[in-house]
Amino acid sequence: MLRRLYPHPFLTLLLIVSWMLLVNQAKLGSLLMAVILGTVIPLLTAPYWPNRPALRNMPALAGYLAVVIYDIVKSNFIVARIVLFMPNSQLRPAWVSIPLDLRTPEAITVLAGTITMTPGTVTSDMSEDGRTLLVHCLHAPDPDGVRDEIKTRYEARLKRIFE
Amino acid sequence: MEFVAEIVISALLVMAGLFGLVGSFGLLRLPDTMTRLHAPTKATTLGVGGVLVASMIYFWVFNGLVSWQELLITMFLLLTAPITANFIAKSYLHLNRGTEKLPAAQDCREWATYAEAERAVEPVMTGAPGQDGPNA
């Protein structure tokens, strides 16, 4: 019963939190509106999203967020240094193909978004069967190293969270 | 307290401005579309992030209220920036079909951008873990 009313509990939670942030005030009326939206929107969109993504490991998710934020800050400085001081002739842009162990669409989406948001790499495409990501690197003298780092640093963690 | 907050806010704003400037400068001086694509994703992370943290501290110290809307802006930025970058990259791949040397995908598959519609392959991804494809 509860499962049918709330097909995606995390989506409901996310909608309630977003609505509360949007109105930016802790009033009972806003909370009521948030709960209504959090109930109706998942129910209406459930037919387009039949499977419930499994989030198995919440502490691992928090750890993943910390790693990603640290990497974003660190690589911002690396890319700034490349942009400011490295002549174009020394720049080694490269395409890297990343074979995926992840199978859930949600996990692959998070991985692709993470790769783009950490400066220096942009997810450009995916193979037609969804098992390989095409990533462009701004400066990668060692493309295999980039692939291995993405696999061990992000994908292994995501696998623990989603699969 | 207020003096310290002013210093922290100014430092964050200056740092954010510098990263925004470096991002725009990168857009100017990098050699081609794909390398230029890296510049705007940078400006949105530390550049915009710095302004948002500064705004949170400002409202907290000087107006006495905690403003959480900045978190929402961060969230929407983190959601939309990768999608825009992905679509720019995909149109670049279409425009430079054949001239760009791409690495091979796993199992000799085509990249999705180049795949022919009539022989499209059903994705092997599954929503329910545990009942995966043959390699799982």
Q: What DSSP letter does each residue of A44-81 carry, written as one string?
A: HHGGG--SPPP---HHHHHHHHHHHHHHHHHHHHHHHH
Beta A121-126 vs A94-99: how paired, if at all? unpaired
User: Residue B82 is which amino acid?
Assistant: P
- Of the ranges B4-13, B19-28, B40-49, B59-68, which is most confident? B4-13
pLDDT confidence band for A1 (50 / 70 / 90): low
Q: Which residue has the tokens 């700034």?
A: A80
pLDDT of residue B45: 76
Residue B48 has pLDDT above 60, yes or no: yes
Please give the Cα distance from B41 to A120 (Å, whole number): 9
Q: Biggest alpha carbon distance in chain B?
A: 66
pTM: 0.79
Sign of CA dihedral B59, B61, B63, B66: positive
Residue in chain B closest to A51 (alpha carbons) equals B127
The count of other CB atoms within 10 Å of the CB of residue A159 is: 19
pLDDT more than 70, % of chain B: 81
The predicted-structure confidence for A109-156, as pLDDT tens digits, reads as follows: 889 988 888 878 888 888 878 888 888 888 888 888 888 888 888 888
Question: Nearest residue on chain A to B68, judged by CA atoms?
Answer: A21
Contact A116 B85 (CB under 8 A): yes
pLDDT of residue B117 exceeding 70: no
Question: A130 vs B125: CB contact, 8 Å cut-off?
Answer: yes
**Across-strand partners of A121?**
A137
Q: How far apart are CA B16 and CA A143, in angstroms?
A: 30
Q: Would you say residue B10 has pLDDT above 90?
A: yes
- Using a CB-CB cut-off of 8 Å, the residues of chain B touching A132 are 105-106, 109
Nearest CA in chain A to B125: A103
**First-last CA distance in chain A:** 26
- Tokens 């598959």 appear where? B109
| pLDDT > 70? residue B133 | no
pLDDT of residue B129: 47
Q: Say which of A73, A104, A128 has its CB closest to residue B110.
A: A128
Residue A90 contacts B where some CB pair is shorter than 8 Å: no
Q: Which of A52, A73, A126 is opposite residue B46, by nearest beta carbon?
A: A73
* Residue type for position B91: S
Task: For residue A126, list chain B residues with Cβ-Cβ distance below 8 A.
Answer: 111-112
At a CB cut-off of 8 Å and minimum separation 6, what does A101 contact?
A151, A155, A159
Name which of B23, B30, B72 is nearest A18 (Cβ-Cβ).
B72
Neighbours of A137 (CB within 10 A): 22
Q: pLDDT tens-digit profile of A77-113?
A: 888 888 888 888 888 888 888 888 888 888 888 899 8
